[in-house]
Structure 1
Amino acid sequence: MDIITHLALGACSTEVLLTKKLGKKGLIWGASAQVLPDIDTLPALFLPADQSLLIHRGLTHSFLFALIAGIFLAFTVHKIYNQAGLSYTALLFFFCFQFTLHDLIDTCNSYGTGLLEPFRHQRFSINLLYVVDPLLTAGLLVGSLVLIFKCTLYPHRKKWAWAMLIISGCYTGFAAINKVYVNGKINHSFKSQQMNPAGYFTTPAPFNCMLWYLVVAVDGGYYTGYSSVWDDPQQSVRYEKHLKNDSLNVKIGDKRVLQHLITFADPYYTLSQTGSSLYLNVLRFGQVQGWRMPNAPFVLSYPLNASGNQTVLLQKGRLAGWNKSSLEAYIRRIAGNTP
């Protein structure tokens, strides 16, 4: 998830677990622990993008890191505040909880999280929340601001923290219900359109959990589509076909980069060619306004024959073309009005 969500989640959960003995200093420790796993974004400044993609949400997002970092921070805080009456065991639980909570909420979006690194390189993702969801973050942010600006003697601090955590938890439950509903609709569409997919996944479209992006694996490629929970139940899902184009492999010189990207795509990708340039498109990240434009380009499209660090080129089109008009159209699409 985005850093604001992690910081706000860290502050609210810390108020419930720790601030009784540490006061507002506990908010700083909790919020810091909540974002620490994302320190793995720093290698992106120095490594080629294909490698930094795999490093992010790898080892520092594992249960092993949660335990080791939890032990270290618990020892550090226990030494600093040894007069505060906090036991080492309580601090160990607190920091391990913060790291594990970070990891688990990150599995809710489509990037993939290496919970079992370095023993197993599988990435886990349940595709439940978009990486930036204002409706999820709003309550946590309000709660954290209350905790920051209200004095430690304010009697309702913990009530605010609990309320915002429950609201965000209920929103996550709402997203889960929506996903189950959309998946049921998708499975019905397979039968009505006589499709026999090898696999599929659904993940939220940008900034909400009511419009869902669909990717269906078939022989030779994929179908993509969009479905809102407010669409007419009798309305068929409209799919677009994308060829996988594995035959373009022979034109790619650096097979190592290609393999890194295929591993990251796990395994939803296509190859495409524009002029003399070859691209690997990672389907899990969606399309640029694909909900309104047929055959929209994919958000994460890696130039395979480019030189240097191409990190700045990745996801460059996520918000391309967004303006007041497109935003209004997007809200209408979420509400069930198809273009």
Structure 2
Amino acid sequence: MDPLTQGVLGASLSLSASKKQHLLAAGFFGLVSGMAPDLDVLIRSESDPLLFLEFHRQFTHSLFFIPFGSFLCALILYPLFGKKLQLSFQQSWLYSALGYSTHALLDACTSYGTQLFWPLTTERYAWNVVSVIDPAFTLPILILLVFAMLKRNAWLARIAVIWALTYPTLGMIQRDRAEAVGWQLAKERQHIPIQLEAKPTFANILVWKVIYETEEEYHVDAIRVASSIKNYPGEAIAKLNLSRDFPWLDLNSQQGKDIERFRQFSNGFLARSPDDELSIIDIRYSMVPNQFNALWSVKLSPTASAYEHVEYVTHRDNSSESRQLFSDMLFDF
């Protein structure tokens, strides 16, 4: 999720469990600690463009790391602010732990993938119930948090926490409805999916991107789930096949290893780009949900040495045409 949502949810949980005289202090510690796990984005390498993908949402987001991560937050925040706010170190650690504990679970509600149980497993958990940015989720929490601090009323923060549990539950219901439509569409096309997933689109839980995998292809459709169901048939694309798509590639080279790293990050949803024969795209994300216009990819080079990395490329589909297509789906009443 975005930093604002992470911060205000962390603040809400710590504030909801605090004593009245500690409300502001608890909210501050929860706010900072709720955002702290994303400091893992600083783990980067100029020579290895995929390093940040491996470490983002990894050990700092593990449920096992909560005691250690929150301890580090308290260790830094207590001498700077805790003493002045008349907190003990134990209280500082408690409020930091409450804020820190919300982060990974909230991230797992999105479709990006979070390593909740690292180091026991590197599996990325993605429950696909909330978009990484969703004002309908964030704004009520923010408003309730502000009033909780102004009114010095912890119950308003508790209501914010209840909303933070309720909205993903609504998202889960919507996701399941979208997946049911996806399975029906596949059946009508006489396809037998190997796997099928519905993912929330930007800033809403009405329009869903449904992806399913067959033996040779990925298929994508947009499904609008409201009082009535509407589907917007989409595209199909051949699954990545390295021996067919890149016959010149040495799988033991660094580029070959990088593709496997990218595959693990994307949960296997890879295809060769239809726009660039040297690029491999992560098909999970696109501005228009029934298209494969990917938001990021890796680019290979036939002339690269055995030790050279792939190039990581981000794409920003901000064209007016794409925005209009998405808007037409979202507001198609």
TM-score range, shorter chain: 0.7 to 0.9
User: Structure 1, residues 37-62: CA drift from partner, whole Å, max 9, x if none?
Assistant: 11100123646332211110011101
2:247 equivalent to 1:250: yes
2:116 equivalent to 1:115: yes
Q: Whole-Å Cα distance in 2 between the matches of residues 326 and 332 of structure 1?
A: 10
Shift of 1:195: 1.5
Pick closer, same or farther for the CA change 1:73–1:327 going to 2, 3 Å: closer
Shift of 1:74: 5.4
Shift of 1:144: 3.0
Deviates most, 202-211 or 21-30: 21-30
Gaps of 5+ in 1: none
CA contact (8 A) 1:272 1:278 kept: yes
Gaps of 5+ in 2: none
Percent identity between the aligned chains?
A: 18
Q: TM-score, normalised by structure 1?
A: 0.82
User: Structure 1, residues 58-116: CA drift from partner, whole Å, max 9, x if none?
Assistant: 1110122112223455577778549957683x665544333232111100111111111
The equivalent residue for 1:68 is 68
The equivalent residue for 2:235 is 240
Pick closer, same or farther for the CA change 1:12–1:218 going to 2, 3 Å: same
CA contact (8 A) 2:207 2:224 kept: yes
- The residue type paired with residue 67 of structure 2 is L
Shift of 1:146: 3.0
Give the number of equivalent residue pairs: 320
Q: Whole-Å Cα distance in 1 between the matches of residues 299 and 92 of structure 2?
A: 46
Q: Whole-Å Cα distance in 1 between the matches of residues 117 and 136 of structure 2?
A: 30
CA contact (8 A) 2:131 2:205 kept: yes
C-alpha RMSD of the superposition: 3.0
2:213 equivalent to 1:212: no
The equivalent residue for 2:175 is 179
CA contact (8 A) 1:229 1:336 kept: no
Q: What is the SS of the residue equivalent to 1:201?
A: strand
CA contact (8 A) 2:270 2:281 kept: yes
Deviates most, 60-69 or 138-147: 138-147
CA contact (8 A) 2:6 2:102 kept: no
Pick closer, same or farther for the CA change 1:65–1:329 going to 2, 3 Å: same
CA contact (8 A) 1:34 1:99 kept: yes
Deviates most, 255-264 or 195-204: 255-264
The equivalent residue for 1:34 is 34
The equivalent residue for 2:221 is 225
CA contact (8 A) 2:258 2:309 kept: no
- In the TM superposition, 1:42-53 aligns within 5 A as 42-44=42-44, 46=46, 48-53=48-53
Shift of 1:189: 2.3
CA contact (8 A) 1:186 1:237 kept: no
Q: Whole-Å Cα distance in 2 between the matches of residues 334 and 83 of structure 1?
A: 46
- In the TM superposition, 1:148-187 aligns within 5 A as 150=150, 154=151, 157-187=153-183
Q: What is the SS of the residue equivalent to 2:132?
A: coil
Shift of 1:204: 0.4
Q: TM-score, normalised by structure 2?
A: 0.84
Pick closer, same or farther for the CA change 1:205–1:82 going to 2, 3 Å: closer
User: Structure 1, residues 120-151: CA drift from partner, whole Å, max 9, x if none?
Assistant: 11111111111111110111122233345x2x
